[in-house]
Amino acid sequence: MNGSRQPIPFDCDVLVVGGGPGGSTISALLARRGWRVTLLEKASHPRFHIGESLLPANMPIFEELGALEKLRALGRLKLGADFPRADGSYYTFRFDRALGDTPPWSFQVKREDMDQMLFEHAREHGVDARERVTVEGVAFDFDGVTAQLDAQGTKSRLRARYLVDASGRDTLLGKQMKLVQRSEQHQSAALFAHYSGVAYNPDDPGGNIISVNRFEHGWAWFIPLPDGTTSVGCVCKPGYLKTRQGASNEDFMARTLAIVPGAARRMVNAERVSPIRFTGNYSYACTRMAGPRWILIGDAWAFLDPVFSSGVFLAMYSARRACDVVDGALREPAREPALQKVYAKHLRRGYARFAWFICRFNSPVMKALFADPRNVMQVEQGVISMLAGDVFDNKRVLSKLHIFKTIYAIASIMNLRRWAAERIDRRRQNRMQVAAGAE
């Protein structure tokens, strides 16, 4: 023996942690490029998940995977999104008016069905896809990564050349490496459940439109699902959540829906057919997106408020982009830093465009602009393109979003001046009333 280090054999080329849409997508794509991929899911399919409304920009990824027809068999057609006006009516942003090449439709799905389909689709492409296996921790070395596994009490190790963290809000590497930062701008929580008997909007008799209803303390969603039920959820601000005061999920959900404009009409004959679930403090991001022999995709890196239904799309889009990084790094390790840098820069820009709208969604100015849009210089069509998920590469769309931001800034200044003038006027009237009383 010369004392030199002996290489430890690899069980696979790529270990993917998390069998949701992002994990299944990158697993299938990498397997098609000839890599040995192991995909580990801590739960078993089917399992409940929110994120039931897909974006048109996601459809080409399903097509690339060869899973679009499988999705079509599971989904309910989605043609756009409704946002409320002040008079109680709705304005519909229809995807067929978007700029660019995104399809004019997508689907609304039960996530347990879609996620199971994608997981099994990855297995059909040669992925070693396992369920009920938890990754408890990972350790990196010069050659690769070793994961500590727990398969329902049976402990083992698995060694891979590369790690893809698709663990969603579990954020495996984010927590282990202390990368997670909660959003200070956008903190919220959500209650949600499935109901039968929920009425559609009058202008959407086919139930092909997702409705987004604002209220004083947040916003609510109504998503018609393929089995005739409707997903109903309320995303609430932290201040409002403090009024819960020990109320059950059922009571708090009923109390919240009672103050959502338009909800009473839709829920009059509704019957809840699932438990009411609660999830807290939505938004966060990790300070790094990749490193030597590892990469984060989807919610494992960042999670945004679901108001624009971006979660599944961003998971699958980041998976497709990360596939090029992993494939390139395994073939030419020297290229890894450059590939990861391009990946991170590209993803951050797209996320930031969604986040800009989300952080301002409940502002008075944004409410007014969404309730009564104008298509000046095709700005409305640019916003529709954003709602369709076209936020990365289309220069035409991005130019319209820049114009929208300028309009928003001008309207905000005008709104601030109006608010200041009204406040001064109220103070003047109060002084006059005090003076009149003194006389």
Answer yes or no: is pLDDT of 435 > 60: no
Judge whether 10 and 120 are in contact, CB under 8 Å: no
Q: Read off the pLDDT of residues 232-255 as tens digits, 9 standing for 90 and up.
A: 999 998 788 888 888 898 999 999
Percent of the chain with pLDDT over 70: 92
Answer yes or no: is pLDDT of 324 > 70: yes
Looking at residue 433, what is its pLDDT? 46
Answer yes or no: is pLDDT of 259 > 80: yes
Q: Are residues 289 and 311 in the same domain?
A: yes
Q: Are residues 30 and 168 in the same domain?
A: yes
d(CA 384, CA 102): 11
CATH number at residue 202: 3.30.9.100
93 is a domain residue: no
Q: Are residues 340 and 310 in the same domain?
A: yes
Mean pLDDT value of segment 262-285: 90
The H-or-E segment that residue 314 falls in is helix 311-331
**153: confidence class by pLDDT, cuts 50, 70, 90:** very high
Q: Which domain holds residue 350?
A: 12-52+110-184+283-359
d(CA 137, CA 57): 34
Q: Are residues 352 and 209 in the same domain?
A: no
**56: confidence class by pLDDT, cuts 50, 70, 90:** very high
Any idea what the Cα angle at residue 146 is, between residues 143 and 148, rounded to 5°? 175
Q: Are residues 199 and 348 in the same domain?
A: no
- 3-state SS class at 439: coil
105 is a domain residue: no
Answer yes or no: is pLDDT of 3 > 50: no
Q: Are residues 315 and 421 in the same domain?
A: no
Mean pLDDT value of segment 77-88: 86
Question: What type of residue sits at position 77?
Answer: L
Q: Are residues 210 and 154 in the same domain?
A: no
The residues facing 134 across adjacent strands are 150
Interacting residues of 118 by C-beta distance below 8 A, sequence separation 6+: 21, 24, 25, 28, 65, 67
Helices (H), 133-198: 172-176
Cβ-based neighbour number of residue 275 at 10 Å: 12
Q: Read off the pLDDT of residues 163-180 as tens digits, 9 standing for 90 and up.
A: 999 999 999 999 999 999
- 3-state SS class at 104: coil
Last residue of a domain, one of 239, 263, 279: 279
Q: Which of 27-36, 69-78, 153-162, 254-263 shows the lowest mean pLDDT across its residues?
A: 254-263
Looking at residue 188, what is its pLDDT? 79
Q: Which of 281, 277, 301 is nearest to 290 (CA)?
A: 301
Looking at residue 84, what is its pLDDT? 82
Last residue of a domain, one of 334, 359, 384: 359
377 is a domain residue: yes
Residue 401 has, within 13 A of its CA and on its CB side, a CA count of 24
Q: Are residues 219 and 177 in the same domain?
A: no
CATH number at residue 165: 3.50.50.60
Q: Are residues 372 and 335 in the same domain?
A: no
Name the range with the highest mean pLDDT among 6-15, 25-34, 178-187, 366-375.
25-34
Answer yes or no: is pLDDT of 32 > 50: yes
- 3-state SS class at 215: strand
Answer yes or no: is pLDDT of 419 > 90: no
406 versus 426: the higher-pLDDT residue is: 406
Longest dimension (CA), the chain: 107
35 is a domain residue: yes
Looking at residue 205, what is its pLDDT? 73
Q: Which of 39-43, 278-282, 418-422 shows the lowest mean pLDDT across its residues?
A: 418-422
Q: Are residues 234 and 179 in the same domain?
A: no
Mean pLDDT value of segment 117-130: 98
Using a 10 angstrom Cβ sphere, with 0-12 exposed, 13-18 middle and 19 or more buried, the burial of residue 269 is exposed
Q: Are residues 321 and 418 in the same domain?
A: no
d(CA 149, CA 215): 45
Using a 10 angstrom Cβ sphere, with 0-12 exposed, 13-18 middle and 19 or more buried, the burial of residue 295 is buried
Domain count, the chain: 3
Q: Which of 61, 122, 138 is nearest to 295 (CA)?
A: 138
User: What is the model's pTM?
Assistant: 0.91
Q: Read off the pLDDT of residues 384-408 as tens digits, 9 standing for 90 and up.
A: 999 999 999 999 999 999 999 999 9
214 is a domain residue: yes
Burial track 204-219 (b if 16+ CB lie within 10 A, e otherwise):
beebbbbbbbbbebbb
Q: Which of 32-41, 201-210, 255-264, 346-355 shows the lowest mean pLDDT across its residues?
A: 201-210
Q: How far is CA 386 from CA 2, 5, 231, 372, in A?
A: 61, 52, 23, 17
Percent of the chain with pLDDT over 90: 73
249 is a domain residue: yes
- Both tokens of 27, joined, read 């697993």
213 is a domain residue: yes
69 is a domain residue: no
Q: Are residues 246 and 378 in the same domain?
A: no
Last residue of a domain, one of 279, 314, 332: 279
Mean pLDDT value of segment 119-128: 98
pLDDT, the chain, mean: 91
